[in-house]
Structure formats: C-alpha cells, structure tokens
C-alpha cells in the first residue's frame, strides 16, 4: 500500500509485469512474467511510484511485490503444486515440470494369440499421463481394454488356403482431459487354429481335427467327412474257420467298428478283417455258392457314423472236407461219386445188395459170382465161415462145402452166411447170404 502524508495527493505508476499502483495506493493487475528461469518459482517485481501534491516537489519510491510462479495458472503456485505445468504428470515424474508435455503412449508387443481361444495379453498400451482413457473398436474379436491389455477371442473367417498366422491391427485412441487425443496401432499376431483344439496349425499334425494326419490329408484345413473303403474278400469255404485280408479301411485313425450280429457265422472284426466260420443251413438243392452280406458301421469321435456292406462269397462244402462242392467229386462225403449219387448233397447210408449164388457141390471147391455188392466203393466185406463157406472181400462166396449132419434122405441144404459190410464214417451193415 502507498500512503501519502498529505491529503489530495496524486499517486501514479507505470505497469511492471502487469502490475501497477493505482490512485488509491493499491497494487493492482495480473502478474505476467515471460522469462522465468528453469527452476525459478518466485520473483520480486519492483514498481516505481510517484506521489505528487500541489505546491510540493513530487516524490518517487519503489513498491516491491513478490510474484509466485504458477506455470499452469491453476491458482496453486508452483512451489506448492505437484503438477506445475498442469499436464497431468507429477513433477517428480516429469522430465520438464515447467513445460507441458503432450499426451502420448507407448505400444508394446503382445504375446501371440491362438485363434478361437480366449485371450488376455499383458499391458501393451501405456499412456504417459495418469487418468488417461483408452478406447478401441474390436478387430477380429480383439480389442484393447481400459487397462491397456489386448482382450477377446480371435476370430478370422477369411484365412488363405495355407495361411497359418496373421497380424491383426487394432486402432487405439488415448484421451486425457485438456489434451489432444492420440491414436496408434497395436499389432497382435494371431495363430490359426482350424479345429480350435488349442494347438495352433503350425504345430498341429491334424489341423482340421478330422482324424487324418495333415501329411495324408488332401484338405488339411477342411474337415473330411468320415468314410471307409470296402474291399472284396477272398472266397470263404463253408464250415472252415476263415480270416480275410483287411477289407474295411477307414479314412481316419482311432475309429471304432460297431459289432453287428454275425451273419451266417461271419463278421468284420475291429481290424477290418472278415472272420468266423461260415454256416448256411438253407442251401438250395443245387446251390454251390452264396454271397453273404455283412453290415459294417464305422464310428469316429465328432463324425456321423457310416454304414456299408461287405459281401463275402461262401463256397458250399456239404461234407466239410475242405474241398468246396464245386470242385469236390463227392459233395456229401458218403463215398459215392456225385455222378453216381442220386442225392449228391445228401449223404447216402451204407447198404449192400445180396444176390443168389449158384448151387455149390459138397466137398468141391467153390467160388460163386459176386453176390455182395456194397453201394459205396472202398467198403470192407467180412464174414465167418459156415459149413466151409464164407463171403470173401470181393463179395464172392468161396470155400469147400462140408456138412456132417445130413438127414437120411436129405439131398440139399441152404447154408446161411452172415455178412457185414463196413465203410469209413458209416455204421456197419449186416445181412445174410444164402
């Protein structure tokens, strides 16, 4: 304050750094200093003041005002302000605390993200000012959240045929009160994972998860439907244990074959082979082979099961001797050649016919014509001698008749010889020869 010793004095001054002393003796104005030192926070401003009075010599003195620096003009002097320049950066973290720092942010490199997998990166967007706001729009399912992390689930629908990774660019804007917003890009490398199994295609042996290794898959990025090929098994002989080569070949590993009920004793096992012992009970009279159809279902996790038929040609073997009827001269194994057998598919029981031998003279060596004729070759004829006579292995009566007990007037007698015919696999048959 300037206080003259005489009333009606006049007070005058010239402004200094925006300050002057008015006619009432008060310092008034808005302090303005443009040449503060780097670390200067206060300055004494000297104002020359002249007091005049009629009839007196004017008197001039200095008024000194201490001006406290307030760089950001926020009303808090720098000496007590934690953010002198008001740029949002605390002075103890601000390399230029008296010069306002423009808004900016650093962008880090996020870790690789797997397609179709929920993802959160470390902080990759770091503003240079606290209380900044981070915003972005989602790109391929990814965005940068308010904490500066990349978050989301990567989704890319337009991969190239052989493309296995892609850089996804996310535009990020950082805003701060009083600053111009800043926009930069964050780049995330997304690893393709076609089947979404958590293993990126670049290290996955089965990219599309269809069960076919990539090195054997004509479309490794497109899931192949389950299927299987059916081969033609070798002919099977009826009544003989049978195992074919592999005839069912799925196009995918780790498949499961459904075990349908065997058909005529045959089925397809888990290795794709036809196994079993063919059994057919309803052959036609002259039927010598039949196609047996076996239904096979192949399943694979994640696929629709597929069912197809395997056809096996079964060769009839009536007698089960291992030689199919079509090449067997004795289909029913009854010892009678088919061309002589009235029922070649039905086993004929052993039998023989008995003829009437010519009369034999007592005490004379005797050989009849053949009188025992088996119905099967390789039969064995046996008998015990009766009165010196027997039937030999050729079916003839042989020997020298001897009868010691003739009646007084008896002149002839019928001698009965019991004959047994045997044949391998048949019940022996016994009849009498007279």
Residues of 33-45 as b/e, b for ≥16 C-beta within 10 angstroms? eeeeeeeebebeb
Which backbone phi and psi does 266 adopt, to 5 degrees? -115, 145
Closest CA to 43 of 27, 26, 14, 64: 64
Q: Residue 414: what are its φ and ψ, rounded to 5°?
A: -85, 120
The reported pLDDT for the residue numbered 258 is 75
**Which tokens hold the place of 43?**
């300055």
Closest CA to 311 of 328, 282, 291: 291
pLDDT along the chain (434 residues), means of 10: 94 96 95 93 95 96 95 91 88 89 96 98 97 97 98 97 97 96 98 96 94 92 95 97 97 83 95 97 95 96 94 96 95 90 92 94 96 94 96 96 94 95 94 80
Q: What is the pLDDT of residue 376?
A: 93
Give the DSSP H or E segment for 363. none
3-class SS string, the chain: CCCCCCCCCEEEECCECCEEECCCCCEEECCCCCCCCCCCCEEEEEEEEEEECCCCCCEEEEEEEEEECCCCCCCCCHHHCCCCCCCCCCHHHCCCCCCCCCCCEEECCCCCEECCCCEEEEECEEECCCCCEEEECCECCEEECCCCEEEECCCCCCCCCCCCEEEEEEEEEEECCCCCCEEEEEEEEEECCCCCCCCCHHHCCCCCCCCCCHHHCCCCCCCCCCCEEECCCCCEECCCCEEEEECEEECCCCCEEECCCCECCEEECCCCEEEECCCCCCCCCCCCEEEEEEEEEEECCCCCCEEEEEEEEEECCCCCCCCCHHHCCCCCCCCCCHHHCCCCCCCCCCCEEECCCCCCCCCCCEEEEECEEECCCCCEEEECCECCEEECCCCEEEECCCCCCCCCCCCCCCCCEEEEEECCCCCCEEEEEC
Residue pair 98/138 in contact (Cβ under 8 Å)? The answer is no
**Angle CA(289)–CA(291)–CA(293) in degrees, nearest 5?**
155
Question: How much is the pLDDT for 323?
Answer: 96
pTM of the predicted model as reported, rounded to 2 decimal places: 0.61
- Quick one: which of 400, 409, 402, 432 has its CA closest to 419? 432
Secondary structure element (H or E) that encloses residue 10, with its range? strand 10-13
Query: How many CB atoms sit inside 10 A of residue 255's CB?
Result: 21
Is residue 177 within 8 Å of residue 100, measured between CB atoms?
Answer: no
Contact 209, 220 (CB under 8 A): no
What does the DSSP 8-state code read for residue 373?
A: E
For residue 256, the model assigns a pLDDT of 84
What is the rounded distance in angstroms from the CA atom of residue 218 to the CA atom of residue 229? 16
Q: Which residues does residue 310 pair with via DSSP β-bridges, in sequence order?
A: 294
8 A C-beta contact, residue 422 and residue 382:
yes
Strands 182-191 and 113-114, bridge-based pairing: parallel
């Amino acid at each position: 304050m300037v206080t003259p010793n005489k009333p009606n004095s006049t007070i005058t001054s010239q402004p200094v750094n925006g300050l002057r002393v008015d006619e009432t003796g008060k310092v008034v104005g808005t302090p303005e200093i443009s040449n503060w030192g780097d670390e200067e926070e206060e300055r004494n401003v000297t104002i020359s003041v002249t007091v005049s009075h009629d009839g007196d010599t004017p008197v001039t003195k200095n008024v000194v005002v201490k001006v406290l620096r307030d760089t950001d003009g926020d009303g808090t002097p720098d000496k007590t302000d934690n953010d002198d320049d008001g740029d949002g950066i605390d002075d103890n973290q601000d390399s230029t605390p008296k010069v306002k720092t423009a808004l900016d942010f650093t962008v880090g490199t996020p870790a690789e993200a797997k397609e179709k997998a929920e993802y959160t990166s470390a902080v990759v967007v770091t503003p240079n000012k606290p209380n900044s706001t981070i915003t972005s729009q989602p790109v391929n399912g990814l965005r940068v959240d308010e904490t500066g992390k990349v978050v989301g689930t990567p989704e890319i629908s337009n991969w190239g045929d052989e493309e296995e990774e892609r850089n996804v660019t996310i535009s990020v804007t950082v805003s701060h009160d009083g600053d111009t917003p800043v926009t930069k890009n964050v780049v995330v490398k997304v690893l393709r994972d076609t089947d979404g199994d958590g293993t990126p295609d670049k290290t996955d042996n089965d990219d599309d998860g269809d069960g076919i290794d990539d090195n054997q898959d004509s479309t490794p990025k497109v899931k192949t439907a389950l299927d299987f090929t059916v081969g033609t098994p070798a002919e099977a002989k009826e009544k003989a244990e049978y195992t074919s080569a592999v005839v069912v070949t799925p196009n995918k590993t780790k498949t499961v074959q459904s075990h349908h009920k065997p058909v005529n004793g045959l089925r397809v096992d888990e290795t794709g082979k036809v196994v079993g012992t063919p059994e057919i009970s309803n052959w036609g009279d002259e039927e010598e082979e039949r196609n047996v159809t076996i239904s096979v279902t192949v399943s694979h996790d994640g696929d629709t099961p597929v069912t197809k038929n395997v056809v096996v040609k079964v060769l009839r073997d009536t007698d089960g001797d291992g030689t199919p009827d079509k090449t067997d001269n004795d289909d029913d194994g009854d010892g009678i050649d088919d061309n002589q057998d009235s029922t070649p598919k039905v086993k004929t029981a052993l039998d023989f016919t008995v003829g009437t031998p010519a009369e034999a003279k007592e005490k004379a060596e005797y050989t009849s014509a053949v009188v025992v004729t088996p119905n099967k070759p390789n039969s064995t004829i046996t008998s015990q001698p009766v009165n010196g006579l027997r039937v030999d292995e050729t079916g003839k009566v042989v020997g020298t008749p001897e009868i010691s007990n003739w009646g007084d007037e008896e002149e002839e007698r019928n001698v009965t010889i019991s004959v047994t015919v045997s044949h391998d696999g048949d019940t022996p048959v016994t009849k009498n020869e007279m």
